[in-house]
Amino acid sequence: MILQFLIMGRGRRSQDEYSDMLKIKSKYKICKRLGSSVFEQCQTQKFTLSEARSSKMRRRRRNVSDYGKQLLEKQKLRFTYGLTEKQLTKYVNEANNNPEPRLALNKLLELRLDNIIYRVGLTPTRRSARQLASHGHITVNGKKTNVPSRQLKIGDAIAVREGSKDSPLFAEIIKGEKTEALPNWLVFDAKNLSGQVKGEPVISVGDSLIDYSAVFEYYSR
pLDDT in tens, 12-27: 444 444 344 445 456 5
Residue 2, domain member (yes or no): no
Q: Which residue has the higher pLDDT, 183 or 7?
A: 183
β-bridge mates for residue 187, sequence order = 196
H-helix or E-strand containing 160?
strand 157-160
Q: Which residue has the higher pLDDT, 4 or 168?
A: 168
Residues 178 and 137 reside in one and the same domain: yes
Give the rounded percent of residues in the chain with a pLDDT score beyond 70: 68
Residue 85, domain member (yes or no): yes
Give the model's confidence band at 42: pLDDT under 50 very low, under 70 low, under 90 confident, else very high. Answer: low
How many domains would you assign to the chain?
3
Residue 42, domain member (yes or no): yes
Q: What is the pLDDT of residue 174?
A: 84
Give the rounded percent of residues in the chain with a pLDDT score beyond 90: 60
pLDDT at 208 over 50: yes
**Which domain does 78 fall in, by range?**
66-109+212-219
Residues 147 and 185 reside in one and the same domain: yes
Residue 18, judged by CB atoms within 10 A of its CB (0-12, 13-18, 19+), counts as middle
Residues 127 and 192 reside in one and the same domain: yes
Residues 42 and 77 reside in one and the same domain: no
Residues 48 and 89 reside in one and the same domain: no
Residues 191 and 117 reside in one and the same domain: yes
Residues 75 and 133 reside in one and the same domain: no
Residues 139 and 179 reside in one and the same domain: yes
Residues 77 and 135 reside in one and the same domain: no
C-alpha distance from residue 56 to each of 2, 29, 36, 59, 60 (Å):
31, 16, 17, 8, 10
Q: For all residues of the chain together, what is the average pLDDT?
A: 81
Q: What is the pLDDT of residue 45?
A: 55
Q: Which residue has the higher pLDDT, 49 or 178?
A: 178
Residue 134, domain member (yes or no): yes
Give the model's confidence band at 47: pLDDT under 50 very low, under 70 low, under 90 confident, else very high. Answer: low
Per-residue pLDDT tens for 116-173?
999 999 999 999 999 999 999 999 999 999 999 999 999 999 999 999 999 988 988 8
Q: Are strands 157-160 and 143-145 parallel, antiparallel or unpaired?
A: unpaired
Residue 205, domain member (yes or no): no
Q: Which residue has the higher pLDDT, 72 or 9?
A: 72
Residues 192 and 134 reside in one and the same domain: yes
Least confident of 10-19, 52-61, 113-122, 175-184: 10-19
Residue 7, domain member (yes or no): no
Cα separation, 42 vs 27, in Å, equals 8
Residues 97 and 142 reside in one and the same domain: no
Residue 61, domain member (yes or no): no
Q: What is the pLDDT of residue 197?
A: 98
Residues 184 and 121 reside in one and the same domain: yes
Q: What is this structure's pTM?
A: 0.73
Q: What is the pLDDT of residue 161?
A: 96
Cα angle 18, 21, 23 (rounded to 5 degrees) comes to 115
Do 30 and 38 contact (CB within 8 A), yes or no?
A: yes
Question: 40-74 burial string, b = 16+ CB within 10 Å, else e?
Answer: bbbeeeebeeebeeeeeeeeeeeeeeeeeebebbb
CB atoms within 10 A of CB 109: 20
Q: What is the pLDDT of residue 171?
A: 87
Domain holding 149: CATH number?
Answer: 3.10.290.10
